């Protein structure tokens, strides 16, 4: 089999690019208009595709919103992983990086706040969004549990510590994103670090 020509390769990649453009347009639409303001026409206009194309890739707008939630969750997970990778080998530094990454871009950003709040508003009314929400947050807790274990948190405390830290970070991220005049990202990190100290063993 011969290698595909550039034109052919571009044609093969185009469907995935169009699908991705719909997901990105949906995320942008949620940030600007909220769930109530979404429509097939507005999403497709933002994506630069014909309205019929949405139905080609997704069962409907609800399925697109669900795919967008999964995509945004992956972006957040990638940002957290990058922060941990940059922290080096110290278990405490890696834990600190994971927790405090939520207080700076790309996670602490107005666009993500608006989009994430739109997803949260659907958790109690859309079973698929509820399922995705459970999966996304379960994955975060698994990652956090490992970091807590590596940092020396007692095995009996790890599950509840991960739940509590997740709730703390969500709360600080939400308040920081809503009004950055109340406290800074550095202060948010310091509050989280002080709370983490209650779970961590004394430093050697």
Q: What is the pLDDT of residue 15?
A: 54
- For helices 61-86 and 6-33, the axis angle rounded to 10 degrees is 100
| Residue 148 to residue 158: CA distance in whole angstroms | 7
Q: What is the pLDDT of residue 10?
A: 36
Q: Go through the domains of the chain in sequence order and give each one's CATH number.
A: 6-196 (1.10.357.10)
If you count them, how many residues does the chain have?
A: 204
Chain-centroid distance, C-alpha 181? 24
Work out whether the CA dihedral 99, 100, 102, 107 comes out positive or negative: negative
User: Residue 177 to residues 47, 88, 92, 126, 167: CA-CA distances in angstroms?
Assistant: 27, 27, 25, 25, 15
Rounded to two decimals, what is the model's pTM?
Answer: 0.83
Dump the DSSP string for 43-74. Answer: HHHHHTS-THHHHHHSSSHHHHHHHHHHHHHH
**pLDDT tens, the chain, 204 aa long:** 334 444 433 334 455 888 899 999 999 999 888 888 888 999 999 888 888 888 889 988 999 999 999 999 999 999 999 999 999 999 999 999 999 999 999 999 888 988 999 999 999 999 999 999 999 999 999 999 999 999 999 999 999 999 999 999 999 999 999 888 999 999 999 999 999 998 898 874
């Amino acid at each position: 089999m011969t290698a595909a020509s550039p034109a052919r390769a571009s044609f093969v990649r185009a469907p995935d690019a169009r699908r991705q453009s719909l997901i990105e347009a949906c995320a942008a639409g949620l940030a600007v208009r909220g769930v109530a303001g979404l429509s097939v026409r507005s999403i497709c206009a933002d994506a630069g595709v014909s309205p019929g194309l949405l139905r080609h890739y997704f069962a409907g707008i609800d399925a697109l919103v669900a795919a967008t939630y999964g995509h945004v969750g992956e972006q957040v997970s990638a940002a957290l992983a990058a922060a941990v990778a940059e922290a080096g080998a110290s278990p405490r530094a890696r834990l600190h990086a994971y927790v405090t990454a939520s207080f700076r871009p790309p996670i602490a950003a107005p666009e993500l706040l608006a989009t994430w709040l739109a997803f949260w508003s659907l958790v109690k009314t859309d079973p698929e969004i509820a399922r995705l929400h459970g999966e996304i947050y379960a994955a975060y807790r698994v990652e956090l549990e490992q970091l807590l274990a590596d940092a020396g948190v007692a095995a009996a405390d790890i599950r509840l510590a991960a739940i509590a830290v997740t709730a703390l970070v969500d709360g600080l991220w939400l308040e920081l994103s809503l009004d950055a005049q109340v406290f800074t990202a550095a202060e948010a990190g310091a509050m989280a670090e002080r709370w983490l100290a209650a779970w961590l063993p004394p430093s050697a």
